[in-house]
Amino acid sequence: MGKTIVVKQIGSPIRRPEKQRATLIGLGLNKMNRTKELEDTPSVRGMVNSIPHLVEIIEERG
């Protein structure tokens, strides 16, 4: 595993479109204030950038 990023969920998926909920699940997040360490790939970055109001990047490692 090369570079990684730590992503934290800061927003609730309640009253959000199904596509945004699915993106959160795809990132491995489903409850407020949970964090997940993910590989830093263009696909993961795209998912994070598509829901900036629900997640934030806390840390970049690598």
Separation between Cα atoms, residue 16 and residue 19, nearest integer Å:
8
Mean per-residue pLDDT for 2-7? 96
- CATH code of domain 4-61: 3.30.1390.20
Q: Tell whether the model's pLDDT for residue 61 goes beyond 90.
A: yes
Query: Which residue's entry shows tokens 């927003």?
Result: 11
**Is pTM, for the whole model, over 0.75?**
yes
Q: Tell whether the model's pLDDT for residue 1 goes beyond 90.
A: no
For residues 54 and 2, which has the higher predicted lDDT (pLDDT)? 54
For residues 2 and 20, which has the higher predicted lDDT (pLDDT)? 20
Determine phi and psi for 21, rounding to 5 degrees.
-60, -40
User: Token digits for 9?
Assistant: 């969920």
Burial class (CB in 10 A: 0-12, 13-18, 19+), 46: exposed
Separation between Cα atoms, residue 43 and residue 33, nearest integer Å:
22
Give tens-digit pLDDT for 8-40: 999 999 999 999 999 999 999 999 999 999 999
